[in-house]
Structure 1
Amino acid sequence: MKIGIDKMSFYTPAFYVDMVELAEAREIDPNKFTIGIGQDQMGFAPLSQDAVTMGANAALNLLTPEDIAAIDLVIFASESGIDHSKAGAVYIHRLLGLPKHARAIEFKEACYAATAGLSYAQNHVAAHPDKKALVIGSDIARYGLSTPGEPTQGAGAVAMLVTANPRCLAFNNDNVYMTEDIMDFWRPLYSETAVVQGKYSTEQYVHFFEEMWATYTEKTGLSLADFEALCFHLPYTKMGKKALDTIITTVDEEKQAELLNYYQLSTKYSRQIGNIYTGSLYLGLMSLLEHQTTLTEGSRLGLFSYGSGAVAEFFSATLVEGFANQLYTAAHTEQLAQRKRLSIPEYEELFKATLPTDGSDYSIDEKLDQAPIKLVGMKEHMRLYTAK
């Protein structure tokens, strides 16, 4: 029995920052942002959008009444959780109107958690092939104004429906993974922003990829020539290429050109949205599938997942017949086109706005955000969500 992703979609808030304008405001050469790290725009989440609402909005495109009736597992993967105790999946379960008799849980391990969620969902569906699992990766990457990490911020979510006999791609059950306790990126409980050692984190990302690739090829006997394309976790779009460069010379020049072309296609959405942590790898996967025209049934795709701290995994999936019919290219293109560009003063003002942390009542102007699902305020320490 094949198990995999039946369909998937993403959501990013209705606001973005132009990276050239941001660079000029910070008196930095724009090429350092657009070429150096490979970012053109940065998705921005207003107070009305948090990890829960973005995750729920990402799933709206996907779910038919038949899907809803069959879902009995919701996994919310995030490092932008809103509560130390209650899983964000519980809110999403209600906002989407999912069946009462379902599990709803939250996973955390930096940017890796959605991959762990997919593995858990796969095992669940293997045991219950008539059921479906909804896996969501949702995050807001936030480092602070005028900080070195500012150009690698972003906001968004991906939603993936895991089923038996999937209509998009099937997992090949060839996963390899590893864990090392390192401090390349973390966020203490008392901090609203992350602590990152940028150069060290990049070095560890590449180190983990090299070790995962060596382990994978030894385990499976496959080589780079056996893959049509590779997708990577993309905290910024140049990051994955640093890993790809370590193995690309193992194939001939024609294959190298093909892999590099597919890599660039996989970065198109990330260039416009920025870093979305747990969802970044799968945003890249969607970007590849929705921009390519030459992949076919049976194409093997490699996926590299990395979460600082650190846990990494490499695995492959195979496209199934009719996969292109499961894509939401037009809806995603329209969503990005309808966003509002924030001026730098507007962005900075919205960035400084915060929710109360003392239990005070708070209302958010609903006119600022027309999303179907959003946060409208707080009351007695509780977040108040609405769904149209």
Structure 2
Amino acid sequence: MEIGIDKIGFYAPHLFLDMNKLAVERNVEPAKFTIGIGQEKMAVPPITQDSVTLAANAALNILDEEDQEKIDVVLFGTETGIDHSKSGAVYVHRLLGINPNARAVEVKQACYGATAAIQMAKGHIALNPESRVLVLGSDIARYGLNTGGEATQGAGAVAMIISAEPRVMAFEGPSAYLTDDIMDFWRPVYSDKAMVDGKFSNEQYISFFSKVWEQYKKKTDLTLADFEAICFHLPYTKMGKKALRAVIDETSEAVQERLMENYQVSTQYNRNVGNIYTGSLYLSLLSLLEEKAELAEGSLVGLFSYGSGAVGEFFAGRLQPNYRKHLFTEQHQELFVSRKEISVEEYEEIFEETLPSDGRSIELDIHEDPAAICLSGIKEHSRQYINKQRDVSTWKGEESR
């Protein structure tokens, strides 16, 4: 029985900041952002979007009634959760109208969370072949204004349905993985902004990739030549290229050229969204699948997941017959086209607008947010969410005020 990705979709906020304009405002040469780290645009979340709404919006348009009934596990990978106790998966489960006879759990290990969720999903499907698992990777990357990490911020989510006999990609062979207790990137519970040792984190990312790649080769007897492409977790789009360069000399020039070319294709979506932490690897995969029209059925694609702190894993998937028919390419292209550019000043205002941390209730104006699912406020310490497509009476009530 094959197990893998049956559907995959993503969502990013409707606002974005041009990195060239941010560079000018910060007195930085624009090429440092657009070429040096490889970022063109940064998705900017309004206060009406959090990790829950991003995840729910990513899943909303890929689910049908059969999925809603057959999904019996919802796994939410995030490092920007909204509650220390209740999982984001429970909120998403309700917002999407999924079968009540389901498990709903949040998974955390920095940017590795969604990969851990996939591995858990594989075990569940192996025991329950008729089931489907909804895996979510959703985050908002915040480092602060005028900080070294500011240019690598972003926001968005990827949603995947994992099932038996998948129509997009079947996972193949064993994984190689590694854990080490290091402090390259972390976010204490008292802070809404991440802390990072950038140079050390880059070094560890490359080291982890090299180590799990060596382990993977021993487990599988595969080489770089067996892969049509390798997708990476991308905190910024140049990071994966640095890791790939560490091993690229193992293969022929023709294979090197193919892998590097496909790597560039796999970075297109990330380049225009920014870092989305747990979803970044899978946004890279989605970019490859939707932007590379000639990517052949049956191709083997490598996947490197890295979560600071740190856990790394390399695994692979094979593209299924007619996989392109089961992508949501037009929907995703429309999402990009419909986004609105904001100025640096507007971005700074949005960044500084945060939810109360003292327990106060608040109502948010969701009319300017075109997303179907929004955060409408906080009441009695509980976040209030609205699905505009379903909560008609509530939404109309909001609209009439």
TM-score exceeds 0.5 = yes
> Following the alignment from structure 2 to structure 1, what is the Cα–Cα distance between the partners of residues 37 and 178?
27
> Following the alignment from structure 1 to structure 2, what is the Cα–Cα distance between the partners of residues 384 and 39?
33
Contact 2:39–2:237 under 8 Å retained in 1: yes
Partner residue in 1 for 2:139: 139
SS in 2 for 1:368: coil
Alignment of 1:235-246 (within 5 A): 235-246=235-246
SS in 2 for 1:366: coil
> Following the alignment from structure 1 to structure 2, what is the Cα–Cα distance between the partners of residues 228 and 276?
25
Question: Residue type of the partner of 2:107?
Answer: F
Partner residue in 2 for 1:107: 107
> Following the alignment from structure 2 to structure 1, what is the Cα–Cα distance between the partners of residues 74 and 352?
32
Partner residue in 2 for 1:314: 314
Question: Residue type of the partner of 1:212?
Answer: V
Partner residue in 1 for 2:160: 160
- Once the two structures are superposed, what CA deviation does each residue of 1:173-214 show, in whole Å capped at 9, x if it has no partner? 310111000000000000110100001000000000000010
**2:221 counterpart of 1:221:** yes
> Following the alignment from structure 2 to structure 1, what is the Cα–Cα distance between the partners of residues 254 and 208?
27
**2:135 counterpart of 1:170:** no
- Once the two structures are superposed, what CA deviation does each residue of 1:242-297 show, in whole Å capped at 9, x if it has no partner? 00001112222121111111000000000000000000000000000001122222
Partner residue in 2 for 1:303: 303
> Following the alignment from structure 2 to structure 1, what is the Cα–Cα distance between the partners of residues 279 and 125?
21
Question: Residue type of the partner of 2:225?
Answer: A
**2:217 counterpart of 1:196:** no
> Offset of 1:358 from its aligned partner?
1.3
Contact 2:224–2:255 under 8 Å retained in 1: no
Question: Residue type of the partner of 1:245?
Answer: R
> Following the alignment from structure 2 to structure 1, what is the Cα–Cα distance between the partners of residues 64 and 189?
38
**2:44 counterpart of 1:8:** no
SS in 2 for 1:359: coil
> Following the alignment from structure 1 to structure 2, what is the Cα–Cα distance between the partners of residues 286 and 69?
25
Question: Residue type of the partner of 2:215?
Answer: T
Partner residue in 1 for 2:397: none
> Following the alignment from structure 2 to structure 1, what is the Cα–Cα distance between the partners of residues 174 and 260?
24
Partner residue in 1 for 2:39: 39
> Offset of 1:363 from its aligned partner?
1.1
Partner residue in 1 for 2:394: none
> Following the alignment from structure 2 to structure 1, what is the Cα–Cα distance between the partners of residues 368 and 185?
33
> Following the alignment from structure 1 to structure 2, what is the Cα–Cα distance between the partners of residues 206 and 180?
14
> Following the alignment from structure 1 to structure 2, what is the Cα–Cα distance between the partners of residues 255 and 327?
27
Question: Residue type of the partner of 2:68?
Answer: I
**2:129 counterpart of 1:126:** no
Partner residue in 1 for 2:19: 19
Larger deviation, residues 23-32 vs 248-257? 248-257
Contact 1:154–1:275 under 8 Å retained in 2: yes
- Once the two structures are superposed, what CA deviation does each residue of 1:207-228 show, in whole Å capped at 9, x if it has no partner? 0000001000011111101111
Question: Residue type of the partner of 1:358?
Answer: D
Question: Residue type of the partner of 1:21?
Answer: K
Contact 2:233–2:281 under 8 Å retained in 1: yes
- Once the two structures are superposed, what CA deviation does each residue of 1:327-360 show, in whole Å capped at 9, x if it has no partner? 1111111101111111011111111001011111
> Offset of 1:366 from its aligned partner?
1.5
Alignment of 1:209-358 (within 5 A): 209-358=209-358
**2:189 counterpart of 1:181:** no
> Offset of 1:138 from its aligned partner?
0.0
Partner residue in 1 for 2:77: 77
Partner residue in 1 for 2:398: none
Contact 1:358–1:381 under 8 Å retained in 2: no
> Following the alignment from structure 1 to structure 2, what is the Cα–Cα distance between the partners of residues 329 and 79?
27
> Following the alignment from structure 1 to structure 2, what is the Cα–Cα distance between the partners of residues 335 and 146?
28
TM-score when scaled to structure 2?
0.96
Question: Residue type of the partner of 1:360?
Answer: R
SS in 1 for 2:283: helix
Question: Residue type of the partner of 1:149?
Answer: G
Contact 2:375–2:385 under 8 Å retained in 1: yes
Contact 2:177–2:312 under 8 Å retained in 1: yes
> Offset of 1:381 from its aligned partner?
0.5
Question: Residue type of the partner of 2:131?
Answer: K
> Offset of 1:238 from its aligned partner?
0.1
Contact 1:42–1:154 under 8 Å retained in 2: yes
Contact 2:5–2:162 under 8 Å retained in 1: yes
Question: Residue type of the partner of 1:312?
Answer: G
Contact 2:111–2:279 under 8 Å retained in 1: yes
> Following the alignment from structure 2 to structure 1, what is the Cα–Cα distance between the partners of residues 180 and 217?
21
Larger deviation, residues 34-43 vs 247-256? 247-256
Contact 1:13–1:43 under 8 Å retained in 2: yes
Question: Residue type of the partner of 2:53?
Answer: T
SS in 2 for 1:315: strand
Question: Residue type of the partner of 2:239?
Answer: M
> Following the alignment from structure 1 to structure 2, what is the Cα–Cα distance between the partners of residues 57 and 134?
13
Question: Residue type of the partner of 2:125?
Answer: V
TM-score when scaled to structure 1?
0.99
> Following the alignment from structure 2 to structure 1, what is the Cα–Cα distance between the partners of residues 175 and 64?
30
Question: Residue type of the partner of 2:90?
Answer: V
Question: Residue type of the partner of 1:280?
Answer: S
Runs of 4+ in 1 over 3 A off after TM superposition: none
Gaps of 5+ in 1: none
> Offset of 1:155 from its aligned partner?
0.1
